[in-house]
Chain A
Amino acid sequence: MNHLLKSVALLAGLGLAACSTARRSEPLRAAALPTSDAVVRGHLVFMENCQKCHPGGEAGAGPSLNNVPLPGWALRSRVRHRAFFLGVGRMPSFKENEISDPQLDDLVAYMKALRRADPARELTSGPVRNPR
């Protein structure tokens, strides 16, 4: 039940955060990312395992990540367990032989750094979609 509660609460938070911008890429962010060893290593873990579905932490085949305020334990749990969000979604799980525990620590450090990077507001405002 505790797991259920956490999952429901996280889903609610995720839904509420969904419409803030997830854009953090180099041309659009206000400042450079931190260059700690963990962030630099985590960047490469992200590229190998996450980038294809969450390019730059934005939405793609999977939902956006940069605007989702998940704590580190939740990020770790979701990476390891496919059923974390009540089985919602189809993101695969990553076992220790795919992303080791130290790599997972680095990945979380990078994802948090990317999330905290402020997007330049004048470059990332406007409607979500406004088809002509």
Chain B
Amino acid sequence: MLLSTPARWSWLPAVLLLTTASVTTSCYKLRGHYGGPKSFEAAARPVNAADVAVPKGYKVEAVAQGLTYPTAVAFDDKGTAYVLEAGYAYGEVWTAPRLLRLEADGSTKEIYVGSKNGPWNGFVYHQGNFYIAEGGELEGGRILRVSPQGQMTVLVDKLPSYGDHHTDTPAIGPDGYLYFGQGGATNSGVVGPDNAEFGWLPRHPDFHDIPCRDIVLSGENFISDNPLTEAKDDKATTGPYLPFGMASTKGQVIKGQVPCTGAIMRVPLQGGPVELVAWGLRNPYGLAFAPDGRLFTTDNGYDTRGSRPGYGAGDVLWEIKPGTWYGWPDYSAGQPMNTSDYETPKRDPKFILAQHPQTPPKPAAIFGVHSSSNGFDFSRSAAFGHVGEAFVAQFGDMAPNVGRVYGPVGYKIVRTNVQTGAIEDFVVNKGRTNGPSSEIGRAGLERPVAARFSPDGRSLYVVDFGQMPMTEQGPSPRKKTGVIWKITKE
């Protein structure tokens, strides 16, 4: 038909050419690397609040600059702000983790310096002490109690934190316990070459995910390159919840233990045994109690990487209920992963558990795929508005290493209605497209990683980790580019 009526279809080649050209060269181009070559050196970061958009009636200002990998802000009982510097960042860079007091003029005073065991991912102040979640990439995760005078005691140690994700943000519950998240070792339960790229597999070749309760494996195994040997074309077969290179068998039971990975746990403030709260999570980074006392966590969704990639998995806000299993490593946001919705060129992620502890609950909200939705806090004051909504910091994607995206995802603060699941931008860079300032030619946000309201509820403090472009050599976190932003209602 096409060939028999050439005049009628003469426009088709032009349209096809135009379509092809626009799709391949226009704004639909998939996101690639930028910012190379990889470097950790301090960078000159322009900071200008005029490049940041907030809703009408609010104002934004930068209150501290030049921080190295800041990850959290907290306030003492006088309302003085303190900041954490992580001491470790993806890309494998180590600095001194520090607890800093933020002075009124934007300078900082060192309160306590930790050891080479970051990343420090979050902290709270409670009844005269700081409680810090030490990520524990080298020596295992710890919960540290630090006095305002800088005396430190270890509340919890030997947490399973040597992997992709670490010991995460703590929160003090109304029951007087300290609650904290523990991230998983891997993307989806199977150790593979992607974990060597993170840097930890050669350091801890026996490390793997640890279930909190007994699980039964389906017998799925995964063949991958072996990054632990020099031999070319060397392959390894690995099963879930097992060390790299160890295959599983159908019906194999993996004994549960606590502490475990991918879980919310708690410990008495005076110290004591770690107790399990909830499990089946991937990386429960942010943790906060809502004004009504309910506990919520942000959970980073699966990446398209490694031996068992998944596609299209959004980050999630969960309401945490004791004893609940939330679906990792076989469900995403409450949906089973063994469908074409999550398939990759490696085919559907098949179930790796023979039985599931329960059907996972429905999330409170689903954030953008690869948005890295992390630290958050609830508004409690009418003076700020949106009381009861969660203000979530989105670190931003690490594409293309974690999967493909058509445009930058995250790099902003969103407010989230935990009753309806509705998500709205609240603090975001100006410009024709979204993205980190260093990529879109602005002087606003880079990578927001945490958000917390001041004790009076009138101001939202946003912790901006700083510049971290994804270069062809991997993440490139630049020292002394961290910023603290403050948003208030006018």
Contact = CB atoms under 8 A, between A and B. Distances in A.
A12 interface: yes
Interface in B328-383: 333, 340-341, 365-371
Nearest to B18: A12
Given A61-B369, A90-B311, A27 B432 contact: no
B18 A15 contact: yes
Interface in B410-435: 420-428, 430-435
A16 B19 CA distance: 8
A115 interface: no
Interface stretch (A71-79, A100-108, A124-132): A124-132
A23 B434 contact: yes
Nearest to B469: A131
B83 to A, nearest CB: 25
A79 to B, nearest CB: 14
A127 B173 CA distance: 46
Contacts of B440: 126-130
Main secondary structure on A side of the interface with B: loop
A23 B435 CA distance: 12
Contacts of B93: none
Contact of B420 (A9, A15, A47, A63): A47
A11 interface: yes
Interface residues of A, number: 45
A21 B440 CA distance: 13
Contacts of A16: 18, 22
A29 to B, nearest CB: 10
B366 A12 contact: no
Nearest to A5: B12
12 contacts: A9-B15, A15-B18, A26-B426, A28-B425, A52-B367, A56-B424, A60-B407, A61-B312, A63-B406, A126-B442, A128-B432, A129-B440
Interface of A: 1, 8-9, 11-12, 14-16, 18-19, 21-23, 25-28, 43-44, 47-48, 51-53, 55-56, 58-64, 90, 92, 123-132
Given A130-B440, A132-B441, 5 more contacts: A15-B26, A16-B18, A61-B311, A63-B28, A124-B431
- Listed from nearest, the 3 A-B pairs whose CB atoms lie closest are A15-B22, A59-B407, A130-B441
